[in-house]
Structure formats: C-alpha cells, structure tokens
Structure 1
Amino acid sequence: MIKILLPTDFSENAWNATEYGLRLFEREDCTFYLVNTYTPAIVHSRFMATTASGGLLEDNVRTRSESGLENIVEQIRSKKIGEGHQFETISSFSILTQEVKELVESENIDLIITGTKGASGFDEVFMGSNSVRIIKSSNKCPVLTIPNEFQYKPPATIAFATDFKRSFSPRILAPLKQLADRFESALQIVHIQQEEELEGFQKANRDAIMNYFAPIRTTLKSLPYFSSKSDVLQHYLVEHDVDMLAMVLYRHGFLEELVREPVIKRMAFHTRIPLLVLPE
C-alpha cells in the first residue's frame, strides 16, 4: 500500500495537485492523507491564548477546515478515479511544515504531492512559500510539485538533472526508478556542461548512475552552458517535450540555489511540468 500525503489550502492549485496524484497512482492501492492546517505561518502568543473569544475563533476555523476536507473527499469520490484508493483527512491546529514532518514519520509516508503555488497564485513566483518550506523540511521523503493548471498525462519522458558532483545511494534514487518502471518512461540523465571535461569522481558518479538505471531506457544528455543554468535547463525541457523533471536537493546544489533566490532571479525558471524533489 503506497502512502501519499496531500497538503491542501483549498486553492485551485492544491486541487489540481490532488487530482494529478490520483491519476498518477490510479492503478495502485494507495492511502491518501489529505491534510489542512489552520495556524498562521507565524503564531502570535495572543492568538494561542485560551480566551473565550480565542476558543470560539479556533472552533470556527477548525469547522471550516474539517468541512473543507470533507468536501474534497466528496469531490474525489465523484471523479471515480482508482478503485484501490483510501482516504484519511487530518485537520490540525498546527504549523504546516511541522504537521507534514510528523505525519511523514508516524505514517511512513512514501511521497508528498503539493501544488507549486498556494491560494495567492502569483505568476511571478516560481514556487509558493509553503511548497518551498515543505521541500526544505522533508529530508526523508520525496516531494512532487505540480504547476498550476498542469493537465495530467503519464510521464513518458522524465529528465533527471545532475552535475555528477555527488554520489547518490540507491535509497535516494529509488522513488525515481520506481516511477520510471511503473510508466515505462524514457529517462534522460541531464548534465549542464560547465567544464571541458568531467573530473574523475564525476565520471565515476556518472557511470554509477547510468548502471543503476540500466534496466530502464536511459540516455545521457550533456547540455552546453550558454547562459544561466536555469535558462539552459528550461530550454531543454521545452525543446524535448519532457513530462517530468527530477532533481536531488542537497546543500549548495542548483535546486537549493533556485528555491532561495530572490523572485527576480528565478523568474527565468518557470517549469511547466511536475518537479520531483528527491531528498539527500
């Protein structure tokens, strides 16, 4: 039984991510955990005070949260996607990242699926603040982010971007391999060539990755470094009609740089496809 966590703020983007997850695992036996938290990102001491008015406010917000989750389950069931799907709802007076972290541990979650933007949905933002926080705090569970309005289609082609400067254990790469196996996807190992030739340790890491994915249709793509890394990668994804991008989040890596850059710098990287983030 695959266990999938679906954080939601009841936005259209969150529902789109939910529907994508349902269709991606349509033929699998899954338990989907729908979670909504209703504590502000920064909790004020007076908000937490146990006053009569504070208690009433909390009750009202909890009721809205619980009814919102019930509505999502009803909407899911009306779609009739996946006979082997089960659903659990969690409405929690908590901070989202803390709740997600605890659920990953207590329920042995296999995958988190979230939208790239929240209720605000600003077009100029590469990824919403909650999505970034979930990725950064989920150091034991892969996260699949779904762009706003992305329409589901099976991932026939998946790109895995790496600079070969890290050696990755099978445990890190296993979720990507399982996904590619499930859909018989073509896997493209993408390297942005910033140097004339790879160092010895990079060649060893490259060969290890290629060997690990050998049972899958795997090709190696070296991209010329003509601009910024984000420009090169974005151009490649569009040019080759890639359905999903996978990357490992590690310290001082490209993905970490991307999610912490100011908005103006990351505007160039507007991936229109799902992004699978594998934790190091």
Structure 2
Amino acid sequence: MKNILVPLGSRKTAVSTLQYAIDFATVSGSKIFVVQAYGVPRIGASLKNVNDVLAKKGKMELAEIMEKVDIKNVDITKITIKGNILDSISVLEKELSIDLIIASAKPVTKDSTLYLGPITGSFVKKTDIPMIIVPKGFKFEPIERVMLGVRSGLLNHDNILDPLSHISKLFNSKISLIHIITPKNDPEDNVLHEDFKAIGDEIIYSENATVFHGVLEYLNQVNPNILCVIRNKRGFLNRLLESDSIKKEDFDSRIPLLVLKGNL
C-alpha cells in the first residue's frame, strides 16, 4: 500500500478522516494524495473569473484542513480538481497508482439516518480499489483485531484478500472470520474457500437473517479495530448501495470499515 487517496468533503469530517489516513501511513510508509473538489461555474456567469474564485476557494479550504492535522513527516501531495470528484476518480487511481482509498462515512447532509452518503457510496460502487471508510471523529488506533464478515465462502478470483493480508502483516493483526449463513445462501456459499481458512486466526459460524445481524452478534466478543466486508455481485453491500447511500437501520459501524472487491 504505497499510495493512499483521501478524497475530502465537508470540513466537519475532513480533518478526522485525513488524520486517520496520516496515522495509518506512519505505519504503512505510504504516500498520501489528498483531493479537494471545487464547483463548476453556472452558465451565464463570467466563466474564467468565477472559475478562478472557486479554484482559489478550494485551495484555501484545503490549506485550512491541512493546518488542523498533524502531518508527522508523511509525504502528502495536495490536489484540487474542478467539478465532481466522482468524475475524476478513475483517472486519479490510474495516474497516481492508488492502492487504497480512505474516505469518510459521514455524509454531507442533515439526514441523520444515513450511515453512508451518496459520494462515498458511489466510490464503493465504482472503484475496484480497497477502501477504508472512517466514521466521523474516529481516532486512529493500531489494527490489532480484525473482524471479517462473509456470507459466501466462494472466492472466484485470486488476490481478493491480499489487501487484508497486507494490513494484517503491518499490524500483526488477529483476524476473526465470521461466516454468516443466511436464508439467501446457496449450498456452495456455505463452504469456505481455502484462502478464507488460511487468513482467519479464528473462524466463527453464525446463522442470521443478514450479514449485518451476524456481525452485530459477535462485535462485542471480537472487539475489532476494523470491520472488513467483501463487495460481491450478489452481496448485501451491492444490494444496499442500489441508491448509492446506506441507511443506519440497514448497516452501521462505529469502527472503520474495510471494503474489498470480491466476485464481481
């Protein structure tokens, strides 16, 4: 994990999210690319003048955020881009060789019922890069315990678990794998792939209505520093993200969430 992308949104969440990324990078030795987007002028405005004002405002906001974090000698590159950051994400990933995205879970909205807003939700849907989604105000702590929640034991591609394995080696983490058997499981989903067996320091089987319920059942027992889920084509995360956002009643996490690309 050499290059981390940190897309910033609201200043209310940007500082804690960026600080989490910096603290993570002090362990991983990663470079950070922090990105702030600014708006596009409306038609009819003096495009050049308004664009210059918006660009200057975006740079000022980014500078204010940078002043509020402890950089800790981490190599940080600041980037401001015009327009919607979602339109630039694939280009940034390729040009900067990004291998991890760290973003905020808290949406920029007054709707307190949301766990994941449409911006971060769209990142999860559109990118194949592993993501760590950080709750508002969460302070970094060494990732000593990981809870990996899976419904299907199938792995149709190699290297799906590599990002988790890398994090585990960085922090010498213990991984508790919760294999959740739901009514939606096919028989083949109930058999764990050998890679799952190899990565799990302990394996717990749970019968529950959803992955979320299975995770909740063992959350206090495992007491993880991070929760990991895999985004599969038929998985619960893809179903929840049909509208790009996730309500807290469907899924919530008080700790960071690591999302891996799965069988898509």
Q: TM (normalized to structure 1)?
A: 0.83
Is the CA contact 1:10–1:68 (under 8 Å) kept in the aligned structure 2?
no
Bigger shift: residues 130-139 or 264-273: 264-273
Give the distance between the partners of 2:123 and 2:93, measured in 1 at CA: 11
**Residue 219 (structure 2) pairs with residue 237 (structure 1):** yes
Relative distance call for 1:275 and 1:70 in structure 2 (3 A) is same
State the secondary structure of the residue aligned to 1:27: helix
Give the distance between the partners of 2:116 and 2:66, measured in 1 at CA: 26
- Whichever residue aligns with residue 183 of structure 1, its letter is F
Match of 1:255 among 212, 229, 237: 237
The Cα of 1:9 is off from its aligned counterpart by 1.9
- Structure 2 regions of 5+ residues with no counterpart? none
**Residue 90 (structure 2) pairs with residue 101 (structure 1):** yes
Give the distance between the partners of 1:21 and 1:136, measured in 2 at CA: 21
What is the correspondence of 1:96-175 to structure 2 with a 5 Å cutoff?
96-120=85-109, 122-139=111-128, 141-175=129-163
Relative distance call for 1:169 and 1:36 in structure 2 (3 A) is same
Relative distance call for 1:55 and 1:99 in structure 2 (3 A) is same
Relative distance call for 1:71 and 1:164 in structure 2 (3 A) is same
The Cα of 1:201 is off from its aligned counterpart by 6.7
Match of 1:246 among 223, 228, 235: 228
Identity of aligned residues (%): 20
Equivalent position of 2:194 in the other structure: 207
The Cα of 1:72 is off from its aligned counterpart by 2.8
Equivalent position of 2:51 in the other structure: 58
Give the distance between the partners of 1:247 and 1:201, measured in 2 at CA: 15
Deviations 1:27-47 (A, max 9, x none): 34322111111237xxxxx82
Q: TM (normalized to structure 2)?
A: 0.87
The Cα of 1:125 is off from its aligned counterpart by 0.1
- Structure 1 regions of 5+ residues with no counterpart? 41-45
Equivalent position of 1:39 in the other structure: 39
Relative distance call for 1:258 and 1:70 in structure 2 (3 A) is same
Equivalent position of 1:218 in the other structure: 201
Is the CA contact 1:231–1:268 (under 8 Å) kept in the aligned structure 2?
no
Give the count of matched residue pairs: 261
Root mean square deviation of aligned Cα: 2.6
The Cα of 1:264 is off from its aligned counterpart by 8.9
State the secondary structure of the residue aligned to 1:190: strand
Relative distance call for 1:199 and 1:207 in structure 2 (3 A) is farther
Is the CA contact 1:6–1:113 (under 8 Å) kept in the aligned structure 2?
yes
